[in-house]
Structure 1
Amino acid sequence: MLEVDREQVVAYRIAAHGLHRTARDAAELAVFDLGLQSTQRDTAEVSVAARFDGSFVDDGRFALAWTHRGAPHFHRAAELGAVTRALVPLDEADAMSRMGWQRRQVEAAGMSATDGLFTAARAIRQVVDKPMTKGAVSTEITKIVPPGLSYWCRGCQATHILEQVMRLAAIHGGARLEAGVNPATLAPIAGRGRLRTTPDVAAATEVVARYLSLHGPATASEAAGFIGTTVTTVKKMWPSSLAEARFEGRKTFLPVSDMDLLSNPPEPGVVRLLPPWDPYLQSRDRATIVPDKARQREIWKILGNPGAVLVDGEVAGVWRTKAGGRKRLDFTVTLFDPVPPAARKAVAAEAERVAATRGFTDLRVAWG
């Protein structure tokens, strides 16, 4: 069994995530193997800019949809069918676990989580036959689904379907999200097939394998955290072609095909500005990325996460932006520890890249 230390694991992950910026095509980026989360404005574009010289959002080879944990992710459009199959719950316990923060409301709905999920999916499939705002879709499907799946929203003074149910059901209902459109707008997936309710263990297993490839070596518990299910469920979709690695006294796993890279990863000598919810920051063992708990609290907040400053394998600080007019983007970079002048210069260059990606022609960097 290969024994690895933190520096080796970090170097591996930086390489696996494409942060050496060697890709010649956005579609080559391994982050799209699992899906690129797009939670806040421009975060996905900035994540790609940290890995690739070019844009991808207007590239028809990619599609945005609510997928893992009900969060919006960009996927390769050609793989959307496989992603949908992978998201069919393996059983009722899996379906209920994926309801996450609305599990209690689903439990009180008077039907199983599986029935609730696919009842909502059928309603979405019936309603979304053209681009429609999220609010309009919610209004229409609330008329169709059983009352237990809906709630009264004081803010809107209207009845809505449970948010997590709608998010998890949309992909099964053949609906994607329109990229770059506000408010959130759903549209039918081109060539969407029939509603599939039968679990596809092979497709689900591929998701686990891709998590382990990007965020490994890792454990079943960490993979379950990403998927939004239980360890028991993940063990039912556990890949067969895995190698073991001893990491900080734990038995962790990685696809056999990635072991050479883990054994001898390139030096993590890159400086990057990673946006909030960047794939690199999505590893469920945060202590590997940022060992200091106080610094973890600075990066992963309940609301309003900052971006992370990556310097030579370490998260060296955080950054935030604020528009200073139509053309200027103001950066505030707060470093945890001093960095060499060359690294500060590289951070400034990365800030220019972020500004250009977001469409700003001028920028100002303030150091905290």
Structure 2
Amino acid sequence: MTAAVRTVWTLGRVSLVGAAGLATLLGTIAVAITIGPADIGVGDVWSTVSVHTRLGEAATAISPIRDGIVWNLRLPRALLAAGCGAGLAVCGVVMQSLLRNPLADPFVLGVSSGASTGAVVVIILGVGGGVLSTSGGAFVGAVCSFGLVLLLSHILGGATDRVVLSGVAAMQLFSALTSFIVLTSADAETTRSVLFWLLGSLGGARWADVWLCLAVLVVALAVCAGHARTLDVFAFGQETAAALGVAVLRTRLLLLCVTALLTAALVSAAGAIGFVGLVLPHAVRAVTGPAHGRLLPVAALAGAVFLVWVDTLARTILDPQEVPVGVVTSLIGVPAFVLILYRTRRTGLATPS
């Protein structure tokens, strides 16, 4: 087989896998929307989407009530779940590669805790005077937490294990600040709603949240995919990467800033949803291998499908009461986390293979 034929074959296979993954995601969203107390079918979903987007002719007429349930409640929620799952999985892949640590994710590095603190400061204390939105506050908090992690890791020597330890310290600090603000400055009703949101909730999904998260996700995924080969090189260590001509500090700072921005957008919309960025990269890596050119897009699709189904379970398992989606991901993620620790006990905290 010549090189040209192999290239065409590889591109065709990647395109086929990508198309299958995208079809699976769209089918997952369509089916998830039909699950719930209201009697809604896939045809109703298509009719609603057709009417509102003018992509085609509606298959059947749909009542205003069903239209409102699909368009205003379930569809934005499912799309936000897909965006959050994809974004958290991508963040986990990038951080585990940059830090060469299989336990790295946005929560371990404290970025999510900082974003939560920033959002709570805006929601409860009203900081920003109406100019700074919840998303803006979350981003400021994420940047502050990220800056603190960089400062501490620099003071401690800048090694990758110091970055993780600095992230744990930042996570504890900002979690304590968040709890202090909520318990001292909010009334009972606000405290209950904010704590529910901090556990991870997609119940308040709005179209503005969907467009923000998807826009940031597309930009972040494009930047990370553009550095896929560089991320492959980081698997061999910073010294090897520098010897091969990689601007190590600049690349690490760029990609960590991108993941901080993405995490801030996701946390501001859905709260803190743990373990997705930790577990999904390992599961996908076992299928695709370590090459980031394949790993990043497949992890994004897998994360999206995973969180759509987890959110569907969270909102229906105790109907009419809703379980925070972060609680469900933690119940699933903790056993997987223990398995990862068991595997790394023999190999050390190096980049997972």
Q: Quick check: TM above 0.5? A: no
Which structure exhibits the higher relative contact order, with contacts defined as CA atoms closer than 8 Å and separated by 6 or more residues?
2
TM-score normalised by structure 1 residue count: 0.23
TM-score when scaled to structure 2?
A: 0.24
Structure with greater strand share of residues: 1
